[in-house]
Amino acid sequence: MPKPKQKSKPALSERVLAELTSATVPLTPSQIAKNLGLRKDTAVRSQLRKLAESAIARGEDHQGDMVWSLAGRESPSSGAPASHVDTALTERLVEAMAANQHPWKSRDLATQLKLDPAVIRKELIELEGLGLVYRTGQTRGTRWHLG
């Protein structure tokens, strides 16, 4: 019997933007993360940086500066180049993990994505810091889960 389709959640960036625009008082990244049910505010800070970069790219420096300050970073609109985040690897990694909802060894992910295991481990650690994945076990027994 097929599983009923679940209603998908809006993307994290849309949820962060909705929290920012609906707030009657300024919110900190920690408050936004709590409102969204996230364990850590690092994913929120990342989304705030992306929102700020896009506002600055559109020429809305004032709005971009305000969002950068929420993200706890110095604004790049003063002439410093904004950092470019390459999300292609993150997307491939999350899609591969979501395709099979079982714990993953980093080496198995590297084999499936045809990438160096060290690159995969580094990306998994970054995603863990954002609260997107978590690990169980240690050393050779480490398994990665979407979370």
Give 66-108 pLDDT, tens digit per residue: 665 665 555 455 544 443 345 788 888 888 888 888 899 999 9
Q: pTM, whole model, 2 decimals?
A: 0.44
Q: Both tokens of residue 20? A: 């920012």
Same domain, 69 and 103: no
Residue 118: which domain range?
A: 88-146
User: Is 61 within the bounds of a domain?
Assistant: yes
C-beta separation of 96 from 109 below 8 A:
yes
Find residue 135's DSSP bridge partners: 144
Separation of alpha carbons 55 and 136, rounded Å: 38
Domain tally for the chain?
2
Q: Which amino acid is at 37?
A: G
Choose one of 44, 77, 110: the last residue of a domain.
Answer: 77
Considering the domain architecture, whether residues 61 and 103 belong to the same structural domain is answered as: no
Q: What is the largest distance, in Å, between two alpha-carbon atoms of the chain? A: 58
Q: Which residues of the chain have pLDDT under 70?
A: 1-9, 25-26, 60-86
Q: DSSP string of 90-114?
A: HHHHHHHHHHS-S-B-HHHHHHHHT
